[in-house]
Amino acid sequence: GAGVSQTPSNKVTEKGKYVELRCDPISGHTALYWYRQSLGQGPEFLIYFQGTGAADDSGLPNDRFFAVRPEGSVSTLKIQRTERGDSAVYLCASSFSLAGGNRELFFGEGSRLTVL
C-alpha cells in the first residue's frame, strides 16, 4: 500500500536482548518521526529525521535507544539491552517538508514490543 509501513507488527523479546524496529515511510516524505506509546498514554516523541540526519533526538530516553535513516527513506529504531519498561507500541510517522505546507503526519500501525 501507499501508507507508512512498520515491521514487525509484534515483537516479544527477553530482557537484555537487542531489538530492531523498521519503518518504511510514504515515498517522497523527507521527514520521519518515531514515537512510543504506553498503555493509556498519548504518543511520546522520540526522534525526528529530516532526510538522513536526526534533526531532533531529544526524546530518546537514554543511550540504549538509537535510530538511523542512512538513505533518507527507511528508518530503523534500535534498542539495546532491552528492559521491561521498554514495552510499548512504537509508532513511526512521515510527512512532507515543503515550506508553508500542512505537514500532516501520516502514522503507521505501530510495532508492539513486549519485553519479558
Residues near other proteins, by CB under 8 A: 4, 31, 33, 35, 41-45, 48, 50, 55-56, 59, 91, 93, 95, 97, 99-110
SS3 21: strand
Least distance to other proteins from the beta carbon of 64, Å? 21
Q: In this complex, which beta carbon is closest to other proteins, that of residue 80 or of residue 97? A: 97
Q: Is 97 helix (H, G, I), strand (E, B) or coil?
A: coil
In the complex, minimum distance from the CB of residue 81 to other proteins, in angstroms, rounded to a whole number? 26
Indicate the residue among 56 and 83 with the shorter CB distance to other proteins.
Answer: 56
DSSP string, 40-92: TS--EEEEEEETTEEEE-TT--STTEEEE-TTSS-EEEEE-S--GGG-EEEEE
Shortest spacing between CB 20 and other proteins, in angstroms? 19
Residue 50 CB, nearest approach to other proteins (Å): 7
Q: Nearest Cα to 86, choosing from 65, 57, 55, 110?
A: 65
